[in-house]
Structure 1
């Protein structure tokens, strides 16, 4: 009797892969899973099958060839392993067993140019490759993540119904999954998602660093809870509230955590892409550098001992002003993130739909928020956050508050670089005349780089003999 073949396959049963597998099974999609069986992973597949024996439509394998044979053609295989060279290795191991029009999906945080290289490589064998950004963490993978697939549209047309079934659903019940665009568009959009996420996390960390000096954790938790019942509602604010209340043996867990934050590359790639596009990604840059600085714990301890530490009465903040500053900075952060997407779309001819991207980020993903829901509507008719009058009014009325917020932080010697980056961007982007004319004059003086004149057409360039 022939074995009934599975509709979908997953390679890698780590935290994300395992939870996505359960999501697929709960969506009544027949599934084959594969995990290598070397060393400490010897029992991964057998343990997964034993723990989930209630699913009659689940099969497990430790042999790639039999795993591939267990799938219906065209095969649809989601690879959930660490990004980098391991993806190329798995592709090369799989390739001899694949057939024309089979589809491989990379669900990790791969660099978008690596994805484009893999698309071209597999295209030579008429095998499709999809780069699919997945956001939501372990819980999102289990209950429904936000999914950002990009690559050949013909492949998505054959695959999309499965991804859409396992994704989160927006307020209208539509899947938080959409075809993003060709090439590496899916992984690029996920990369920028993570860049926005870096800054959103850093803003909350900077608020925490201020409020903890004058308020107990319980009071900060109450403040965050009230914000999360307002237009500032977000997943990151929700989990930060929970973190502030978590205890272990009557001590706050937060106080036991070393102040060194890690990063896995997507923040760096986002900042680098902004630089390559000539865009001021100041907030995600500040957030990334804050993580880099945190890594120098030993240096920070040593240098701090060189400073006198007199008793200081820290400034007790006006919470409404802190809230307004936070709202201000979040608008700027999202503006910068979507500006990168807009520019990258034009450069790469991806035709990104910013409204659809915002919509699939309204649920399932780490940066889901009330603000994102508003953006999904705004981008239906516009392509820039700063063309929305309501945001302009919010920024105008909050400018003085964030300015005072930064001044007080400086007086208390508390680093708030992400808030400063938001404020500085706003002031600069709304200043008619910046001092860049002096910089261009300097460049022309020492390097003959020329300059444009305010009284001549912009396509004309001039050089002045500064030494005569």
Structure 2
């Protein structure tokens, strides 16, 4: 076999699937794994695609098996492992050889690696890849970050292996440095929020309406034919309908209510705070996962106070109310995510292509949704506008926010936790408040710290009469 056009290091689930995807699209690919025993296992499972794949137990042989200038994708755990792999690789590479970090990296790490590569005069790409194992194998959403020249060098491969929406590749260059990984981070934050909103709707059906898992699944299936059509609603219907082969019980009823996370949602919240871009629905979703992990504490709380969540009176809420609540919550969740991207674009001097981000997320990624096409159109017309104020989505909210309000109020009144739905409602109510209570905050800040405030009747910075009283003793 001739020298491979691209290489993949790391044959875990995502790396293995991505390598097969590359080979399936007609490219010769070289692979390497730190644990060499994994390589023959992978080659055997590759079947007919093995003819386009060369496995190398030794890193030096892997590098020699690549055509120059070399392009090497790293699919290793984020963090120190990436730096260690780059440190091992660089002495073996020529100055034009490029390292591509396709893991779930913190964008600050990608910024640092991009800067170090620029100073060394070597190319580097940090790309966000979304879609899970299935997406990696058959077409993920790809968000590129680095120099335009580095992206252009491998764009033909990345676009070929990406998901397609009506024939258009879901792979786009996002900007320099860590831009690609930042966009992926926001994607994951939205993913956390969307999942939590769906979970809360399931909780209302299960605990508030007394519906079994199969009935909940049927509702999700129906919702997936309307405005809520999305991958996450689709799989929620499937997991609700599944039966545990060991007990015969609904699979959902056998799963412990303790959620895991890898930290990307938390990163979204941290960056939102640093940029002053509120994402309360995403933040509520992260907090909910953290609370779920504290199961012993929750059990102690239920013992001390009694479980607060109870059945709702018949007819208090309808499934139509719940559908409206999810629609409104989803719009507001995405609006917050894109608002964060807008703030990041200004802060980091990235030319983030807002409409293209929505387009890239239309297929392949976890948050793919029918709404994203309309979001792409809205962001094409007004890339700096909050999506909640875009004419199409403002109309969607007018039609559905009453359901969000009803579900949040009724659920909380019944002791049913709905933190993300409540956060969405509070965000909407604050967004639509012409006058908030922040004047009280400013008065307090001026009273204890002489921080000053603006007046409603004239420009400039001012102090209240209490300041003179302080100075006079």
Provide TM-score, normalisation by structure 1.
Answer: 0.96
- The question of 1:236 aligning with 2:232 is answered yes
Partner of 1:289: 287
Matches within 5 A, 1:14-413: 14-37=12-35, 42-54=36-48, 55-171=50-166, 173-213=167-207, 214-249=210-245, 250-308=248-306, 313-316=311-314, 317-383=317-383, 384=385, 385-413=387-415
Q: Secondary structure at the match of 2:91?
A: helix
Task: Tell me the residue number matched to 1:463.
Answer: 463
Distance 2:294 2:353 in 1: 40
Stretches (4+) displaced over 3 A: 308-313
**How many Å separate the matches in 1 of 2:277 and 2:303?**
38
The superposition leaves residues 64-121 of structure 1 with CA deviations (integer Å, 9 ceiling, x where unpaired) of 1110111011111100010000000000000001111211111111111110111121
Structure 1 unmatched runs, 5+? none
Distance 1:48 1:294 in 2: 36
Q: What secondary structure sits across from 2:105 in the alignment?
A: coil
The 5-angstrom pairing of residues 434-453 of structure 1 reads 434-453=436-455
Equivalent pair of 1:315/1:408 in contact (CA under 8 Å): no
Which is further off, 386-395 or 23-32?
A: 386-395
Inter-partner Cα distance in structure 1 for 2:347 and 2:162? 29
**Equivalent-residue separation in structure 1 for 2:122 and 2:64 (angstroms):** 16
Q: Which is worse superposed, 80-89 or 258-267?
A: 258-267
TM-score of the aligned structures, taking structure 2 as reference length:
0.95
- In structure 2, how many angstroms separate the alpha carbons of the residues matched to 1:309 and 1:338? 37
Aligned equivalents of 2:81, 2:66: Cα separation in 1:
22
- Structure 1 residues 310 and 322, CA, compared in 2 at 3 Å: closer, same or farther? closer
Q: In the aligned structure 1, how far is the partner of 2:308 from the partner of 2:79? A: 49
SS of match in other structure, 2:455: coil
Residues 34 and 312 of structure 1, relative CA distance in 2, 3 Å threshold = closer
In the superposition, relative to structure 1, how do residues 392 and 312 fare at CA in structure 2: closer, same or farther (>3 Å)? closer
SS for the counterpart of 2:259 is: coil
Distance in 1, Cα, partners of 2:154 & 2:400: 46
Q: CA 1:311–1:194 in structure 2 vs 1: closer, same or farther (change >3 Å)?
A: closer
CA 322–162 in structure 1, closer or farther in 2 if over 3 Å, else same: same
State the aligned residue count: 459
Q: What is the CA distance between 1:307 and its match in structure 2?
A: 2.4
Deviation at 1:155, TM superposition (A): 0.7
In structure 1, distance between residues paired with 2:284 and 2:310? 27
The Cα of 1:352 is off from its aligned counterpart by 0.8
Would the aligned equivalents of 1:315 and 1:412 in 2 still touch at CA under 8 Å?
no
SS, match of residue 169 in structure 2: coil
Cα separation, 2, equivalents of 1:311 and 1:146: 39
Distance 1:309 1:102, change over 3 A: closer
SS of residue paired to 1:180: strand
| CA distance in structure 2 between the aligned counterparts of 1:393 and 1:92, rounded to whole angstroms | 53
Cα deviation digits, residues 147-169 of structure 1 (max 9, x gap): 00110111111111010000000
Gaps spanning 5+ residues in structure 2: where?
none
What is the rounded CA distance, in whole Å, between the counterparts of 2:156 and 2:399 in structure 1?
45
Closer, same or farther in 2 for the Cα pair 1:122/1:390, shift >3 Å?
closer
Q: Can you list the C-alpha shifts for 1:381-413, whole angstroms capped at 9, x where unaligned?
A: 112213322321222233332222112101221
Mapped contact 1:83–1:109 kept (Cα < 8 A): yes
Distance in 1 separating the partners of 2:400 and 2:421: 12
For residue 248 of structure 1, report the CA deviation from its aligned partner. Answer: 1.6
| Separation of aligned partners in 2, 1:124 and 1:52 | 39
- The change in CA–CA distance for 1:312 and 1:345 in structure 2 (over 3 A counts) is closer
Q: 8 Å contact 2:213–2:252 — kept in the other structure?
A: no
